[in-house]
């Protein structure tokens, strides 16, 4: 029998997460948490069953949670929810698409999702509450801090350090062995060839 999981955030990113979760076959989605005006609406067949105010109750009823809010402008809401869930003892499993590649020599933190066709190579370390989006490449020995979003088809080359709370846009390329400071926003298609601190 599949374990139940609650998704928090019902926008576009949630739809992509639903697809990954369905493909893994590990969890059964029990419902979605979103804004009060969206209560009882359905997203890809799954009902919005609660709002943020209901999280303390849900933590008593369910074990597993995934934050499915997107992250572009700021990670602050994702961080706030993540910390509240951790403090309440909720489980935040790592979700990995069966059509992603994750080296057995890589490490991934709690509540992170690895989307379809992403590639995580040997020695890479990915923090907690991250989004590694479709077709993103995290090369050997790269470090991705907590609460980062590496967007679609972005390339983080070997040994690069991405500090927490950073967004790397679609098709951006980070040169090997450079460092990107905390809370940085890198636009789509950017080529980063030196440190941003």
**Long-range own/partner contacts, residues 17-20 (CB < 8 A, 24 or more apart):** 17/66, 17/68, 17/95, 17/113, 18/43, 18/44, 18/46, 18/68, 19/44, 19/116, 20/95, 20/97, 20/113, 20/115, 20/116
- 165 SS3 class: coil
Percent of the chain with pLDDT over 70: 100
Domain(s) of CATH 3.40.50.20: residues in the chain: 3-87
| pLDDT exceeds 80 at position 27 | yes
- State residue 72's pLDDT score: 75
- pLDDT digit string, tens, across residues 66-114: 999 988 778 999 999 999 999 999 999 999 999 999 999 999 999 999 9
Which CATH superfamily hosts domain 94-197? Hexapeptide repeat proteins (2.160.10.10)
Which residues lie below 8 Å from residue 189, measured CB to CB, with a gap of 6+? 169, 170, 171, 172
pLDDT-based confidence at residue 65 (cuts at 50, 70, 90):
very high
Which residues lie below 8 Å from residue 131, measured CB to CB, with a gap of 6+? 13, 70, 71, 112, 113, 115, 148, 149, 150, 151
Q: Which class is 3-87 in CATH?
A: alpha beta
Q: Is the dihedral of CA 139, 142, 147, 150 positive or negative?
A: negative
pTM (2 d.p.): 0.96
Domain(s) of CATH 2.160.10.10: residues in the chain: 94-197
Strands 46-50 and 42-43: antiparallel
């Amino acid at each position: 029998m599949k374990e139940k999981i609650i998704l928090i955030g019902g926008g576009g990113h949630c739809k992509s997460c639903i697809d990954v979760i369905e493909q893994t076959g590990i969890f059964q989605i029990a419902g979605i948490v979103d804004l009060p005006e969206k209560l009882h609406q359905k997203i890809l067949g799954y009902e919005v069953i609660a709002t943020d105010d209901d999280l303390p109750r849900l933590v008593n009823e369910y074990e597993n949670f995934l934050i499915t809010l997107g992250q572009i402008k700021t990670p602050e809401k994702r961080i706030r929810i993540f910390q509240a869930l951790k403090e309440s003892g909720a489980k935040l499993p790592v979700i990995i698409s069966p059509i992603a590649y994750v080296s057995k020599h890589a490490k991934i933190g709690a509540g992170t999702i690895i989307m379809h066709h992403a590639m995580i190579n040997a020695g890479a370390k990915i923090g907690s509450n991250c989004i590694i989006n479709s077709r993103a490449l995290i090369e050997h020995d790269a470090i991705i801090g907590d609460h980062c979003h590496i967007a679609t088809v972005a390339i983080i080359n070997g040994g690069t350090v991405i500090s927490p709370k950073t967004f790397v846009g679609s098709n951006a390329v980070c040169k090997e062995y450079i460092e990107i400071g905390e809370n940085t926003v890198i636009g789509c298609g950017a080529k980063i060839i030196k440190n941003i601190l």
